Amino acid sequence: MTASASGKTSRSEFYIIARLDLDDSAVDVYSKIFEAPGSGRHAGEWSRSWSLPVRPGTAADLERLDRLLAGAGYRRSSGWRKRITASGAVRYFADATASSYAGIRTR
C-alpha cells in the first residue's frame, strides 16, 4: 500500500494481456485503483492504462514480453494463461505487480 498526496491510502492492481500478432506484439496493462473510503474515488471497472509495444518487425515471445514488463517496472505475479478470444485471436493473460508505484507509467 502507498499513501497518496491527500494522505489517503491507495493500492493498485494490474492485469496484463499479451498479444503476439505479426507486427503487433505488445502487452496491454490494465489497472484498477482502490481508494480509502470517503475519498470520492470508486473501485470501478478495469481500465487500460497503457500498452508496451514491441518494435514493429521484431520477433516476440512471452519471455521477451516479460523483459519488456520488467523494464517498465512491472513483474508478472501469475503464470501466463492462454485464451482464444471470440474473434479467434490468441491472447495471454496474467496478473502483475509494480516494483515501484511512483515510477510506473500509467498513461
pLDDT tens-digit map of 7-40:
443 446 789 999 998 888 999 998 876 555 555 5
Distance CA 56, CA 40 (A): 41
**Which contiguous run of DSSP H or E holds residue 5?**
none
62 against 47, higher pLDDT? 62
Looking at residue 92, its pLDDT comes to 96
87 against 43, higher pLDDT? 87
Name the maximum alpha-carbon separation found in the chain.
48
Tell me the residue ranges of DSSP E strands in 2-98: 2-3, 9-21, 24-35, 47-53, 74-76, 81-84, 90-98
Looking at residue 9, its pLDDT comes to 39
